[in-house]
Chain A
Amino acid sequence: MNILKHAAEEVWGLFVDDPIFAAAIIVWVVVIKLLTGVLPHVMAGLALFVGLVVILVGLTYRQAIVISKK
């Protein structure tokens, strides 16, 4: 049971070790889904990528600030 529990925690941790980071990614995908009805599809692809890069860089920098203050 310990191995199964450890494996389940490991699998969960593969995707969500920072809930805010994970939530931001999912929210952005939902936003793009809503925008695909409005934007040309190629622009929607660019917006998806740019938004994810902003999330990556922004939240990593936020975590870097927290770590550097310790």
Chain B
Amino acid sequence: MAVHWSGIIAAFLASFVEFVEALTLVLAAATVRGFRPALSGALAGVCVLGILVVILGPSLALLNGPVYGPVFHLVVGIMMLLFGLRWLKKAILRSAGLVGLHDEAAIFKKQTDSLRQTPDEKAEAGAFLTAFNGVFIEGVEVIFIILAVGATTGKLIPPIIGASVAAVCVVLLGAVARKPLTQIPENALKFVVGALISSFGTFWTGEGLKITWLTSDFALTYLSVGYAAAAYGAVMVCRALKVARPA
């Protein structure tokens, strides 16, 4: 049960962050060339992502059986470790002030400037592609989390629910704000998602190696807390490094 709730939360938070980034690109396209090409591109991106989940989800779940289960858990676990620890590393460096925070306003301006320079005959296609690329590229990370969490737990529905709720929240916020969502604490969310996905990766890598976890039902919880605490400590150390070495 804890695994399912962790999956829903991880999928919701990761999807929320990625959809905020996609929204910036869709809004940029809509601002310059109107909502029709922008929403068409976004919808096309969502359809392609949906097709990927429908095709890959059940196929991957078939591998999660008695024959290939341990190898499958190991491979997916390692992929989740690479993904989650990479997110956590970036979040640590951003929190420490060593790398700039993700700036939705700057990205919005860059995209709108680029689209305004597109010749008129290619304007609609440019807007469509900007929105499609934004949704598809940002959505790839969401798809990975849905598939990885869903295939290892044997239940695709909980992470799909998490991602869908996040999509609805971002669309509603975007419709109300009608501008990039710059107030969302993206790095804090990425910090949490990084810890969650890293704990999933550690858990499933361990399952693949036939490791026995202490109180297995709560393993994800204490692994997540452990990663979050270690990452917070790393932020403090990196901040001290930044202070000790003036620019």
Contact = CB atoms under 8 A, between A and B. Distances in A.
Interface residues of A, number: 38
A6 B81 contact: no
Contacts of B245: 68-69
Contact of B226 (A14, A17, A49): A49
Question: Which of A10, A14, A52, A60 is most buried by chain B, counting CB atoms within 10 A of its CB?
Answer: A60
Contacts, number: 119
B89 A63 contact: yes
The secondary-structure label for the interface of chain A is helix
B157 interface: no
A68 B226 CA distance: 27
Contact of A42 (B88, B144, B205, B214): B214
A67 interface: yes
A26 B230 contact: no
A61 B214 contact: no
A11 B144 CA distance: 9
Nearest to B226: A49
A24 to B, nearest CB: 10
Q: Is the interface of B mostly helix, strand, loop or mixed?
A: helix
Contacts of B241: 61, 64-65, 68
Q: How large is the interface on B (under 10, 10 to 19, 20 to 34, 35 or more residues)?
A: 35 or more
Given A42-B212, A45-B211, A49-B226, A64 B85 contact: no
B79 interface: yes
B230 A57 contact: yes
Nearest to B245: A68
B144 A57 contact: no
B210 A48 contact: no
Contact of A26 (B78, B88, B213, B231): B78
B137 A52 contact: no
A61 B234 contact: yes
A14 B1 CA distance: 28
B86 A45 contact: no
A57 B242 CA distance: 16
Contact of B238 (A11, A18, A29, A60): A60
Given A14-B140, A57-B234, A67-B99, A44 B209 contact: yes
Contacts of B144: 14
Q: Which of B74, B212, B233 has the most CB of A within 10 A?
A: B212
A29 B89 CA distance: 18
B82 A15 contact: yes
Interface in A38-58: 41-42, 44-45, 48-49, 52-53, 55-57
8 contacts: A26-B78, A44-B209, A45-B214, A48-B205, A59-B89, A61-B241, A63-B93, A64-B238
The 7 closest A-B pairs by CB, nearest first: A41-B212, A15-B82, A64-B238, A45-B211, A53-B230, A57-B234, A68-B245
